[in-house]
Amino acid sequence: MGLHCGYLVAAVEPDALLLELSRHAGAFVAGALVERVADADIDPGRFDLLLGGGDGRAFLVDTSMMLSTNADMIIAMSDVLGTVVGAGAETVSGSYWLTVARDGELLRHAFMSYASLTLGMSIGDPLASEDEFPLVDSSGDGVFAAMATFGLDPSAWLDSGPATVVTFDATRFPHNGAVDAIRRRHFEQYGRPEDAWLHEIVAVEASPSRRPNAAER
């Protein structure tokens, strides 16, 4: 249950997203094409990614969780691609993130990790979706609702396909910028002592998914 990956989505064709991504990070090598996303044989330990989309939308499943969390890279990519969204969650540690940028401008950035922060980080006005579907939600509904706000919900593609397996060699990472500097200062002020969060774990019953349906998008 829950999410354990990130998503990098943009209002461009998939090849354009991968090309721009390669300008900022290490090498990306396209591999096998699978008809259904669920059939993809990927190795998260090797930083395998999944790429798909079409008709002016690109979806990338970020198993590394290092690309979709890099706000400065997403802002730089949006200067070329237009609208770019990075979002995801790692619900075991209670980590949730969202960056929305358009034409080189940051529209929204949020980051929360119960494992490492006592207070989440927020830049920009909350999205319209966040009132009904908060970003911090163990089901991951808030993450998908945020992407749907910009017409970039990958749900239908995730349920069908096709997808290309892409290997990221992780030999080069994007340069840090203004948002990273803000995040580092935030961690210095609100960082949680290492392993302290383990003493605050409380078992709760998972609530049913409230992910917006097609009509609500």
Average pLDDT on 113-117 reads 88
* 176: DSSP letter: P
**Which pLDDT score is estimated for 77?**
97
**How buried is residue 215: exposed, middle or buried, by Cβ count under 10 Å (0-12/13-18/19+)?**
exposed
User: Which token pair is 47?
Assistant: 């930083």
User: Which token pair is 133?
Assistant: 């579907």
CA atoms within 13 A on the CB side of 40: 29
Residue 135 has pLDDT above 50, yes or no: yes
Distance CA 73, CA 27 (A): 15
Read off the pLDDT band of 140 (50, 70, 90): confident
**How buried is residue 29: exposed, middle or buried, by Cβ count under 10 Å (0-12/13-18/19+)?**
exposed
Distance CA 59, CA 163 (A): 9
Average pLDDT on 112-140 reads 92
- pLDDT 10s digits, 154-190: 999 999 889 999 998 888 877 789 999 999 999 999 9
Rg of the chain, C-alpha, whole Å: 17
Residue 2 has pLDDT above 60, yes or no: yes
Distance CA 124, CA 122 (A): 7
The residue with tokens 């991968």 is 18
- pLDDT 10s digits, 51-67: 999 999 999 999 888 99
**Which pLDDT score is estimated for 203?**
41
